[in-house]
Structure 1
């Protein structure tokens, strides 16, 4: 028997676009689009529908798949008590994906668009090893040379802002929905930094007139494969791009929207000036926790995250590193008890219905480690504490990037910088300090002799004994 699918509880013909969203991936469709769908179901905000957009070839494939189903997205919540499917109708169109972004620029120039939001991944903001905008990146240099036909999202945003300024139209708000510390500041730096390369006057105007609210987003959303398509089929839906996700979701935002915003507080979004506190908690405990379980599990050939949490060594390693080395450096969060938040995170990781993969958690370590792990590493060192668990994690990441698991299985490329990481990991096998010399990840930490000695010991032990034995030794100590 086909199970029930919840359909949009509103007339989609009454919707008009107010948001252009760049990067219509799984997370956006399970998060921002769901919140808006809930708001529209209350009979509110129907002038805040989404126009999807993208700047990469994969976005064109998503556009084709969604267009075939009237831009409806299937979202299946994977609760252990039962699965729930719904069709999300918050998106009313998906712009053509073009090399010069002409359609995207035209849409963002429309005065009806008051918010431009983005999910372009943590690595998509052109930042250097210090977390600052990199004006020398080839993509940025190319956009600065052709500002009216840009290839990046930030170039397209600037071109549209330039059109609106010339037409005496109010600028839209630019809202990042990516997992980045200070994501609003990072986005502002990218847009202003690009503008400074070709039009200082425009850069100054953006600084003074365009809002970039910071926000924290959270929902575990696995990649889509045949398993997810089979789940959709069980609901009678032949959808090539369904989204599965956990029941939990959270969105915390600064209330900085001069051009207006939907009343998202009515559907559970928290508006607060203390986004940074929520963000630090989530990035360090959840995203950092993902890394803590991902690399030892992958080396031990554990495929799924809930299987990793069912392994006593991995679960204990996560808990010990979190309690001893991460939680002490998380600042207070309004109305939140930090140890209770960790308990929530551990239960979310252990949800057997999610079927999230350790490989997905291992993805893009070169961009994620500097944001999710290295800050906790630094905080411990600054207080005179050697965080042996986080150092062991760094050694496990290095071992993973060598390209084989402890049993000898090949690890397929799993990072935009995989070739460079693999080369460095191979050099580090005989010279462990070479790994910490990766300045784009560790900054100046290679100059800390005590850290280098601890890392050298940890990496040599991982190579000699394997991840499982070293987790056991760490926990016993």
Structure 2
């Protein structure tokens, strides 16, 4: 089995991007696009300097530095796996308290883009308001000590301050996380943090720094023994952090890069003024679809996503909820057939080679539900239509957080707020509306009589009849 390696001289690459957050998604997405570009002989002054701001990032740094910052990326096509070594990152900055090395690197004039994948929950958003939360403890700590910040946003602010003082034009800040309006969200975090310690600097950042919105897409499972065994089959047994991913990938970006950008349109990136339309389609249909199939699978002890898709009731649930309560409220997208896009999503979910887990899809519901499910609920209700299927999805999430599957097996903690969620979920078995009183997640939906009644109905059904019987009842309705 062959392994594709870079067709360019990595020693001739020079850095143009600092990327914060070297998880699997980045290494299977942005890093691959740049690797493709470099293979064409283009953009060799846009190599990546990797960075992290959390203590666990040091382990990733050790792993990647131990293999010259190469990443193993295995594409899981049902027709046959392919493996490549991606060489677009040329160094990984030290992970340290105060982030001095990161700030120093971002201050250098050759760095023209700073990009981030710090997860959906990493932007300090108050779910109740949907706005940046200046009272978050990490943000308050950075505001009190702006020269030695602990967050990615604090490091960005410090670097922009140093560049301005040195007369160096600012870099572009590019979010690559799955968030509605991710550029706006990132701007709010950077400017909002700067405002706490230096309002004048905050105004300068708001005026002079670009934060393009982007939509990113590629299913990338977590790395475990299966993935390491797969890498070993390609002769890469020494790689502790290989990445596996589906063949499909997509990246749509606003073309707003005052300091310049690599010519990524040459390798399939779409530059568009309609990012929000692509983004809503993807977040509502794909990410929302993941949530729809996650919790019934989790409650029925189904391990893999493709197994959930092969389950007649779960597959039918996805179809019914998407077609009746999600897709009708997704706006038109340029050059896109939305029903055909949903068919593509179904095929991607059903790919058995990916072996994505239901547990991964169930992770972090307290951050994902408000972004991927609740907006569709609101749109349906605003149109005067019921959201019974989405109420069932919320009820299954609640039941999952109670901590037992239908078979009685224990569900290990799977959310940063698990203890709180579990307490509320168990209380909700007798008092269903307690769950909807999580205003940071549901806002005023607890006050919507129809949605609250549907939620309570489905939660009681899950408790008394089980998940399979409840799905049958919903599908028959």
Q: TM-score, normalised by structure 2?
A: 0.99
Taking the aligned partners of 2:79 and 2:110, their CA distance within structure 1 comes to 42
* Root mean square deviation of aligned Cα: 0.5
Determine if contact 2:387/2:451 at 8 Å carries over to the other structure: no
* CA deviation vs aligned residue, 1:345-380 (integer Å, no higher than 9, x gap): 000000000000000000000000000000000011
Mind listing any 5+ residue stretches in structure 1 that lack a counterpart?
none
Secondary structure of 1:57 counterpart: coil
- Residue matched to 2:311: 311
Determine if contact 2:115/2:175 at 8 Å carries over to the other structure: yes
- Residue matched to 1:274: 274
Deviation at 1:147, TM superposition (A): 0.1
Deviation at 1:152, TM superposition (A): 0.2
Taking the aligned partners of 2:51 and 2:37, their CA distance within structure 1 comes to 22
Secondary structure of 1:248 counterpart: coil
Taking the aligned partners of 1:33 and 1:476, their CA distance within structure 2 comes to 46
- Residue matched to 2:178: 179
- Residue matched to 1:188: 187
Determine if contact 2:69/2:92 at 8 Å carries over to the other structure: yes
**Is residue 2:92 matched to residue 1:94?**
yes
Taking the aligned partners of 1:450 and 1:294, their CA distance within structure 2 comes to 24
- Residue matched to 2:7: 9
Taking the aligned partners of 1:270 and 1:355, their CA distance within structure 2 comes to 28
Taking the aligned partners of 1:357 and 1:454, their CA distance within structure 2 comes to 28
- Residue matched to 1:139: 138
- Residue matched to 2:82: 84
* CA deviation vs aligned residue, 1:191-242 (integer Å, no higher than 9, x gap): 0000111111000000000000000000000000000000000000021000
Taking the aligned partners of 2:103 and 2:293, their CA distance within structure 1 comes to 41
Deviation at 1:427, TM superposition (A): 1.1
**Is residue 2:405 matched to residue 1:405?**
yes
Secondary structure of 2:334 counterpart: coil
Deviation at 1:450, TM superposition (A): 1.9
- Residue matched to 1:160: 159
* CA deviation vs aligned residue, 1:64-123 (integer Å, no higher than 9, x gap): 000110000000000000000000000000000011000000000000100000000000
Taking the aligned partners of 1:24 and 1:283, their CA distance within structure 2 comes to 22
Q: TM-score, normalised by structure 1?
A: 0.99
- Residue matched to 2:350: 350
- Residue matched to 1:249: 249
**Is residue 2:51 matched to residue 1:45?**
no
Residues 4-403 of structure 1: matches in 2 within 5 Å? Answer: 4-129=2-127, 130-238=129-237, 239-403=239-403
Deviation at 1:383, TM superposition (A): 1.2
Taking the aligned partners of 2:338 and 2:140, their CA distance within structure 1 comes to 43
Secondary structure of 1:76 counterpart: strand
Taking the aligned partners of 1:437 and 1:405, their CA distance within structure 2 comes to 24
Determine if contact 2:125/2:132 at 8 Å carries over to the other structure: yes
Deviation at 1:409, TM superposition (A): 0.6
Taking the aligned partners of 2:213 and 2:250, their CA distance within structure 1 comes to 14
Taking the aligned partners of 1:143 and 1:216, their CA distance within structure 2 comes to 29
Structure 1 moving runs of 4+ over 6 Å: none
* CA deviation vs aligned residue, 1:40-76 (integer Å, no higher than 9, x gap): 0000100000000001111100000001100000000
Q: How many residues align?
A: 475
Taking the aligned partners of 1:48 and 1:110, their CA distance within structure 2 comes to 13
Secondary structure of 2:240 counterpart: coil
Secondary structure of 1:456 counterpart: helix
Secondary structure of 2:406 counterpart: coil
Mind listing any 5+ residue stretches in structure 2 that lack a counterpart?
none
